[in-house]
Amino acid sequence: MLQEPKMMSPKKNDEPGDPSILVETRPRTQRPPLYKVLLLNDDYTPMEFVVHVLERFFGMNHAQAVEIMLTVHKKGLAVVGVFSHEIAETKVGQVMDFARRHQHPLQCTMEKEE
Ligand code: TYC
């Protein structure tokens, strides 16, 4: 008796072991970028004012604040904290505003951490 040609059943593509399927196992979560907040040296801002800024806006104790202030004074700048973009922007704004209100030329900036 004549056999009809067997139709190939539509191949399901999700059988276990199907080598044509690549299952992503590596999680692809991305950390949000972090930003360094930098304090810059100048010749006019009083040392005590910088120490106060570091205590007030960066939660440093007095000894830490003196140490970092002296690092900025000697090296020209120092990283005073690492934050999310939004927090870093807020800190920079707070420091710049506080310095301006007291008529000191203190500069604070942020840069992306690589
Ligand atoms: N260089 C300043 C002075 O001699 C002190 C100073 C330190 C200024 C740190 C700014 O970010 C600064 N009075």
Cα distances from 76 to residues 2, 3, 73, 92, 99, in angstroms, run: 93, 90, 6, 17, 18
Tokens describing residue 91: 């800190």
pLDDT in tens, 37-73: 999 999 999 999 999 999 999 999 999 999 999 999 9
- Kindly indicate the confidence band of residue 15, based on its pLDDT and cuts at 50, 70 and 90: low
In short, whether 72's Cβ falls inside 6 Å of ligand 1 is yes
Helix (H) or strand (E) holding 44: none
CA of 40 to the centre of ligand 1 (A): 8
End-to-end CA distance of the chain: 75
Look up the pTM and report it. Answer: 0.79
What are the residues facing 109 on neighbouring strands? 38
41 lines ligand 1 (CB under 6 A): yes
Q: Ligand 1 mean position to 68 CA, how many Å?
A: 11
From the CA of 62, how far away is ligand 1's center (Å)?
A: 16
- Residue 78, H or E segment: strand 77-83
